[in-house]
Structure 1
């Protein structure tokens, strides 16, 4: 028995069916990777920056940032325990959390996080601001949980951090969507020649911050887009997280920088693609070193 050659029409039909099957397999594989692979594959990003106002006495201080844990159905207490171990490995001198501890859609507020977050050590201080999910769920209770965990929660406030004869100010502003950020109030005890590290949940607050004596703004909120298509970018960016969506931005004509951390957890969908969760480690130096 001999095989009949395929007609052009049948050949194209089978080719398209085969291509469709391959496409479905690739899509399924990408989805599984995004849910079970990349979503739990935390990346450490190390950033070295120099500033004119940064004091020589604090050269080499390690500032570690994490953000947007979104604890809930997709990111549980077990995941948080693993994150705490990883953060401790980075030996932060200053630890910063930039908001959204729990997820307002698939999470609930629980004190179970307190013993875990209390394990985090940073000799020069643990600082936090609240995010939009925190505000929706109950800012007062989440603020209390963070404070019981050893964090100083800054709401339009600042705190001086010292080492030797040098000091910087860590400043935090209220959340933009549901709160009332007031940077002038937060800076009222800061002189213009002092270095300012600003924590602001939404990165687009940078359009306000750069007009003030602020050197470095750390933010979260955007998740870096969470799902990023090669050669296209993110499918969706949240309000106030669209202009400075991920990574480092420098404002020309000034020393001001903003860094947008991609966050740890997820929201809306338990998937990350081409956008790994992130811990940021900053080492700052003075231009006069």
Structure 2
């Protein structure tokens, strides 16, 4: 009986210690996610080769950022730091894939214009709108981006020429509140053109795969934002569930979609095991097999 009481006390002490340790670990993880990781931006370099990619574009650096969600939980001061980091990537082309402002904890503001105007890319700055932008006021957000030097693409394309080659940058309308029309966006694209598509929601890739798109850049999902080791993300939004994070390839095709983890946060001001991201794409021409 005495040994049983000792064993029970030992078990209770160990259980209490385990609960306290778990509570401390949870608290530390929460503080890290709120005050640490969500400001710890990672620069990722992705190298890919395509048969349609013109050799005259060798060495061109395409830099993507997404989902800044400027508002209560991501300030203009933080955006200044993002711009500094983007410029350090030495971009030739800059692509923004939507959700400039947060529709729940932010509002459309012209104050971001002088910050975004500091971005320099010799071959152009391109953007599409996200669902939060559309929910706030798509026309106002488009105006802010255009006054910041971005070309906002809504079911349309632009040509970029270098030497004797060119690529097409195509932008699709937002899927929840807009009217995406890929055939319209691809009008004027020739069979040998390399096509870079900007689409806020990554699951649009199923449509892109069946068309003449080579590389789709997306955001929207934030990579899951909170990712539990050995489990994955605890939540991904609609149209960001099939291709939620990183690079995806497709059998029998050179087509890829890349889902950027974004800069800001939504719903909760926390990131865990899912750092905010800037992506640098360095593409090359795939030579035919001998």
Same fold at TM > 0.5: yes
Is residue 64 of structure 2 the alignment partner of residue 79 of structure 1?
no
Distance 1:158 1:268 in 2: 33
Cα shift readout 1:240-279 (whole Å, capped 9, x = no counterpart): 0000000000111011000000000000000000000000
Corresponding residue of 2:177: 178
Any idea what SS the aligned residue of 1:84 has?
A: helix
- Residue pair 1:56, 1:288 contacting (<8 A) in 2 also: no
Q: Deviations over 1:99-142 (max 9, x none)?
A: 00000000011100000000000000000000000000000000
TM-superposed deviation, 1:163: 1.1
Aligned counterpart, 2:37: 38
Whole-Å Cα distance in 1 between the matches of residues 112 and 193 of structure 2?
35
The CA deviation at 1:166 is 1.1
Task: Give distance in 2, aligned partners of 1:74 and 1:5.
Answer: 53
Per the TM alignment, residue 6 of structure 1 is displaced from its structure 2 partner at its CA by 6.9
* Paired position in structure 1 for 2:49: 50
Counterpart for residue 284 of structure 1: 283
- Alignment correspondent of 2:216: 217
Does residue 15 (structure 1) correspond to residue 14 (structure 2)? The answer is yes
Separation of aligned partners in 1, 2:5 and 2:192:
79
Distance (Å, rounded) in 2 between the aligned partners of 1:192 and 1:180: 25
Shift of 1:15: 0.8
Counterpart for residue 95 of structure 2: 96
How far is 1:14 from its partner?
A: 1.0
Number of matched pairs = 286
Unaligned runs of 5+ in 2: none
Matched, 1:107 2:106: yes
Partner of 1:234: 233
- Aligned equivalent of 2:253: 254
Distance 1:13 1:288 in 2: 67
Distance 1:209 1:222 in 2: 18
CA distance in 2, matches of 1:131, 1:142: 10
Q: Secondary structure at the match of 2:10?
A: helix
* C-alpha deviation, 1:5, in angstroms: 11
1:61 aligns to what?
A: 60
Q: Give runs of ≥4 in structure 1 deviating > 4 Å.
A: none
What secondary structure does 1:112 align onto?
A: helix
**Could you tell me how far 1:288 is from its partner in structure 2?**
2.5
User: Does the Cα contact within 8 Å between 1:157 and 1:185 map onto a contact in 2?
Assistant: yes
Counterparts of 1:203 and 1:5, CA distance in 2: 59
SS in 2 for 1:45: strand
User: Secondary structure at 1:269's aligned position in 2?
Assistant: coil
Identify unmatched segments of 5+ residues in structure 1.
none
